[in-house]
Structures are given as C-alpha cells and as structure tokens.
Structure 1
Amino acid sequence: MSVLLLQGPLGPFFDHLARRFKQVGLPVHKIHFNGGDESYYYQNNALAFSGSPEQWPAFLSQFMRDHNIKLVMAYGDCRFYHHEAKRLCINNGVQYIALEEGYLRPNYITLEVNGVNGHSPIKHDGVEAYRPMHTIHDEVVMPGNFLKRTRYAIKYYVTNILKKQKFAHYMHHRAYNAFAEAGCWIRAYARKQFYKISEPSASRLTRKSDFFLVPLQVHNDAQIEFHSQYESIEHFIQEVMLSFALNKCTQRLVIKHHPMDRGHVNYKQYINKLAKELGISQQVDYIHDQHLPTLLKACKGIVTINSTTALQAFYHEAPVKVMGNAFFNMPGLTDQKTLAEFWVNPEKPDMEFADRFRGYLLDHGQINGSFYCQFRFTCDNIIQYMQSHGMLDLQPVNNT
C-alpha cells in the first residue's frame, strides 16, 4: 500500500507526516506543484509537477499506476489539482483523504473520506443514530500559532517567486500575487497589534445592548465559491444588512472580521457606507480580534454563510442561521426559518441533539492536534485514527 501526498497546509506538516508513515512501514510519495511546496519538504521521495493543468489528470493517473498508489491525502478537496485527484481516486477505487482545519477549533484538525465542509459525508441520519454521548479524555490544548503561520506563509510565497520559472504553469487555487501575499501576512501582524488597543473588548461590546453576530469568512474561501450562492463577502454583507434594515430590527449588528483575513482585506468603508445608506449606522459594529466565546454567549443569534464558528455557537446555545450550504445545517442545530423570521424569533439549538452532534464529530474525523505545531503528536493521532477506522492496516504505531 503506497501513499501519495499532494498539497498540504502551509509549513512542514506533510514532511513530518511522511516521516511517520515511513516509520510504520508505508511507502510514501509526494508531488510538488510550486516552490512553496518544495521549500517545506526535505525528503527524496518527491516529484515536481511542472506541466500544465490540462496535463495533470493524465500525469497523475500514470503516476498512481506506476507507484501502486492506494491512498491519496491532500489539504482540502476544492483546489483544481485535488478535485481532479479525488475524481480519479473515486473512479479507480483509491482512497481519497481530505484534511482541513478542525471543525472543533482550536484543538482539532479534520480528516474525512472524499471531502470536507460542504462535501463532508456527515448527514443528519448519522447523527440521529449516534446515541452515546462522547466524553473527552486527555485532550491536549494546542498553543497559539499565529506567528508560526505568518512565518510559514511568508516563506511559502517568497519561495514561489524564486522558483516561478520552474513551475511556470502552476495554477494557484486562489488569485494571488506572491509579493502581495507575503506583504499581507506582515500587515496582518501589524493590524493585530493595532486592533488590540483601538477596538473595544468583547465584554464591553456585550454590555452595550442586544446584538446579532455576523462572523465573516476569508474573502477567497473555497466554501463561498463552491458551497454558497454568494459572489463575494460583500454580497453576503449586503444581503444581511439590507434584511436587518428592512425588518426594522432594534438590536445591534456586530460584524466580525475573520482573523486569517486581517492583512488581506478591510470592509470598514464598505460597511460604513452601506449602514449610512440604510439608516442603521448607530446599530452596526465592525470588529476584528475580540474574544469569540464571549460574543457567542451573549448574542441573540449568529448569521453565517457556512462558517464553522457555528459549531462553537451550538456549544454556547446560540441560535444559528446558515445562508449557504453546510453539513451542519440541519434541524435540531440551526434555525430553518427565513432570515426575516430569524431576526424576530431566533431558534436555539436542541442541546441534547447538539451534544450528540459534537460527540459524533469527535468520533468521526476530528483529531486532536495542529498543522502548525505539535507535529509528532498530531501525526501519531492521525495514524491511530486511520487504523481504528479501517483506512490503514498497520501494526501499532512505533513511538521510538
């Protein structure tokens, strides 16, 4: 059984995972698509794909036959290269495993067969049939890693520039300029420090008056492109604010920027202009890094496209209205009424079902660990999880 790794999260995580796979006897191969991929992988079992996107399916099909690939792992399933790989895997009886940031953050990562988020195999019937309540044992808290992620991102994009000629046909999953991306991560750190002193704390916000929370997603999130009807985050903001104004809501609307998008975009002018046009300027707050659990506990409800912030909201009994497509948009968890009705009478989740849902997640694809630190611990947990769920046929993990 040979494993093929495609693109992973920013940083050296896939290098560590490959090492652990080899230590338990699995042949591992890696395909690089750009200089950033190469810069974090330090082993000799990798091949650079420098062909065009049109050549990728035939190249991968031949590679999988030549190396007897039985398992493909990648970070996400919506990138062009990964989407084509998943299609080939399904057609040829090869396992495709998608990794993603944890649904239950910050102490978990996600591992699912054939897709994550909107492509997740999680269904209402599966949760309904899941009776045992999960009890967390020995959960390891993951340390903060923003600075590490910033360094990883800067190195990744700078190396892309330096090796651009080698990978001239590479098609990135998001429109970007490598110099600009590196600069955005530097700006994100500076803005983080600025917002600490310039914006009110979460506790101060919650004391002002009742409010609805709108957690934004990353501006080029694949969940928006592939799992929603929205053309952009601005499109979503406009619909929410217009509905809020038309329904003459008396509460406040707190719009929270995504922390990983801090250096890339700023919606302040757009939100202020729209709020003024709608006559709700005094009711709208635009915030960045305030403590999310504090906001979730106090809000009247949250409105989201399909952000996994909703999974934290369930824990705090906050009503949730999903505006896009999401695996967690199901009766018992989210409000099934229209947005106009939600403003008037937001429905809280059924906490027994929400508890069962959390237990189901923890037993189905949530792995204690991080892509950016605690590498050995996380890789061991992945291998143990894959063994226990029939994805690998191995002897117990070698911890020597």
Structure 2
Amino acid sequence: MRLILVGILLGLVYSCGATISGPFLFWGHHKVSSLQAQALVEASSREQPLTQLFREAKAVVVFVRNTTSRLEGIKYPKFQNLVKSGTWTYLPERRLIAEPFGYNANIEVISLSGHGEEDDAEIVTAYNDALRIYGNGEVLGILASREEEAHFLAKRETTEEEPKKTAEGPPADVAEETEASFIYVAEGNKAVLSLNGPPELRLTNETLRLEEHIKQITFDDQHAKGYGRLSITFMHSGEKCTLRFKFSLARGTWIGRNVAVEHNELKSVLLARGDDYTVPSAPLGFSNRCSANDLSFNNPNKNETLQSLIVSDFQVQPWLNGRKEFGEVYDCVGFISAPILSGLFVVTLLLGILGLGISAMLSMHTPNRFESSRSKQLTFTVQE
C-alpha cells in the first residue's frame, strides 16, 4: 500500500514538473550564483551545475504562476525582500536543461492563484515553513510558469484583407521575428550582452521598457581601428528602437564608452557614466559583470528628448571570437573597501612598531673600555 501511495505521489510530482516553463527565478541556496554565467554554455555542460544544485539542496520548493508576464516588485514586496536578502539568479530561457524532479526527494510544488497579494503572502509563508524544517541556506526556491506558447513572436499588423505578396518577397507589413529574452548574442558568437531585465530608455515624458528584440543581432568588428559595435534592434509598440553599444580597444583592454540610440526620428549618442569600476572594461578575452549597480548611459545635452539608457545586472563581452561561453569575469567591485582599509591600517601599525623596535635594537652599542683593579688603584690620605 505504501509503495502504491509513493508511486501516486511521484506521478503527481512528475506531472507537475512537465507543465512548468520559463522564465525561472532561483533563490535561497548559496550555489545559485554559479548559474548566472551559464548563458552561452553548451547544453551538456549546463546540465551538471543544475543537477548538482538539485541534489545538494535539502529541499526544493517550486512555485508555479499562471502567466509568463513580468513579475512586478511593487505587487510582490514581501517576495522581493525575500529574494534580495540572499543569493538569487534569473534564467530567461523557456526550458531548463534539467528539472529538479527525480534529483531531490523533498520537492513541493505550489500552484499560485494569480492574485498579487495572495501569491506574495503564499510564497513567503511556504518558503519560510521549509526554512524552519531544513534550515537557512538549505532550501532552493524556484519560481516558474505554466506551459504557454513559445517566447518567439512573429508580429504583423492586423488588417481586414490579407496583404498581397509581390514578386520581390514577402508582404512589406510583416514584422521581423522577435524574441522576448534578455540575452543578446551577436551572429557568429562575436559578442554577447546578458541582462537580468529589459533595458530602459528614458525619454523626456516617458520610459520605454525594451523587452522584445529582433533576433538578428550584429557586431561590427573594427579591431584594426580600435573599436567594435554591438547592434540590437528592439520592437516597442510596433516601432523600432536600435541600440549600438560601442566598445573601444586599446593596449589589449576593451572599454564600453557609449551607446548610439535611434528611435523613430530621434538619434543621439549617450555616454557611459561612472568610474573605472562601474564602466564595463576588461582585458581582451575576459568578460565584465556587475550586479551591484545599474549602468547608466546619459545624454550630455540635457535639452534632448533622449535622456538616458539604464541596464541592470549585466554581463558583457565583446570580441567573443566564436566562443560559446563567457571568458573569466572582471567585476565592478573595487579593490579598496572598508575591510581592506582596516586591514591595511593594522598592518601599517604593526610594521611601524616592528620598525621602531628594530631601530632601537640597532642603536644599542657595547662599551669599548672596561675598568679593572690594575688600571685604577685605591688611595688613602692619612692626617697627623
């Protein structure tokens, strides 16, 4: 009887697992961060980190949403605080290379109702219950979605009549195929830009969230001239918006200098704002990653309609040269920090004390003459 019950439960688990799709949000376990740089790795290499994570977690809690729409932090404040308080990562793909079912015995699948406040409270409550049983850092949380249509969309304007084909090619009003993801790989794996969310183009009176992009992404490699351009064309409300990220190359190091923006009839060059650590740069063959701060490209002319472009939690590498994975990572964390300064101060103080001690020992001299009974006689004076 017990075997029959276990079989039924496993069947339910597998049936739930077969209906989930991306995008996915992982949090809670300390090894979740290792999944962040796996965007361009081959399928065979990506499977091992996932299966290892599923096995090492003491428990896995899978929350299934009814939609793949964007999860707004304003509507889920409790869940947002829960995720940001620890390690987390976002996987925009539709399918996981490996699913947790079958790799972990303690899996709970929770279907969400679709109401913001109810889902927010249910996620936090269920996850905290698992933490009380298995301990902090031992529970892997996964937010997924139910099976829906693919994330590849072929948009076209709806008209009363079917557009007529011409001898030159397809109808002119059929838009190019677009993709809703935040990983932008240039043709031939020449360059790659990976984000945690869509870029935000800020105009004078509105902000455009560039979520869908045309799948044809190019990288203009002008290595001999010392620069390269990563061009990405987005579709927003049926209108094109092209971003051309320019990277300069000097003495074996690339630097992200600016981005040229074309939206409708507006054209402008936005300059990267920041210091040596926040502006993306790395030696050739290395990638740059920053999850601590947003990267801002600002318009030097304040009177222009195009104000700025914001990208968050990015990893970028130009001149990828056909590789299928990121190079070694340079991050935006500077060398000088409060703990390092404290350590340097203590070391300097100890070295100063040691130097004074050595100096005092070196200043000591032994006497060059010694008095004895032969060199100095004792005399007495007798008075009569």
User: TM bucket by the smaller chain?
Assistant: under 0.3
More helix by share: 1
From the CA coordinates, give the structure whose radius of gyration is larger: 2
TM-score when normalising by structure 1: 0.21
- Structure with greater contact order relative to length (CA < 8 Å, sep ≥ 6): 1
More strand by share: 2
